[in-house]
Amino acid sequence: MPWGVEAHSAPHGMGMNHPPKVTLTHPAHFDDRPMTDFASSLQGQRAPDFSLPAGPDRQLSLSRLRGEPVVLAFYPADWSPVCGDQMSLYQAVMPEFSRYGATVLGISVDGVWCHRAFAEDRGIGFPLLSDFEPKGEVARMYHAYRLPEGVAERALFVLDRDGYVAWSYLSPPNINPGADGILAALEALTHERQAVI
């Protein structure tokens, strides 16, 4: 599936009755704003656009992905045990994501060469984007930057075909959020789209 799509129309109330919304259990902050704002801060809004390195000589822009659902999976670090399990799980369930026509993007503050080694080691075929410089700039835009550690939160976003945030979830950093919430959100988007058509 191509990398780079832009999203589509208004959210139609999407995300109101879907998999668990975030309940924060750790003291992270974004620009001095408690992370308890995470669940509602972007829900139903157009996802902030960005362009990040997807490799040493490749850039990926979110706006180019409009027209298909997009899963943004922010995570703290490539080589941490939980992150490795989480990204490997998403690779394993890629056929399910593909069934919904969804593009999956992993995002952390690691550099492109670290991402490349990690992807090769774990057999990950979807893009791992480097939010390295300015450090965590995109994570901050999504209220998913963890201070004082200086890494991305373990945060998930499902964007609809028009680029609106349909669902989001923030997991404690030491817990793999799995794929069930993502798949339920993608299923809900499919039903919503069929109802409109």
Length of the chain: 197
CATH numbers and ranges of domains, the chain: 29-196 (3.40.30.10)
Q: How far apart are CA 47 and CA 155, in angstroms?
A: 14
Alpha helices in 4-111 (DSSP H): 38-41, 81-92, 94-99
pLDDT score, position 43: 86
Q: Which residues of the chain have pLDDT under 70?
A: 1-40, 194-197
Q: How far apart are CA 104 and CA 166, in angstroms?
A: 15
Alpha helices in 28-145 (DSSP H): 38-41, 81-92, 94-99, 112-122, 137-141
pLDDT score, position 30: 30
Beta 70-74 vs 103-108: how paired, if at all? parallel
Q: How far apart are CA 94 and CA 115, in angstroms?
A: 18
Element (H, E) at 194: helix 180-196
Assess whether the previous peptide bond of 148 is cis (omega < 30° from 0): yes
Asked if 84 and 122 touch (Cβ cutoff 8 Å), the reply is yes
- The model's pLDDT over 49-93, given as tens digits with 9 standing for 90+, comes to 999 999 999 999 999 999 999 999 999 999 999 999 999 999 999
Q: What does pTM read for this prediction? A: 0.81
C-beta atoms surrounding 187 within 10 Å: 14
Is residue 114 annotated as a catalytic residue, yes or no?
Answer: no
> Which one of 39, 52, 72, 83 is the catalytic residue?
83
Asked if 78 and 110 touch (Cβ cutoff 8 Å), the reply is yes
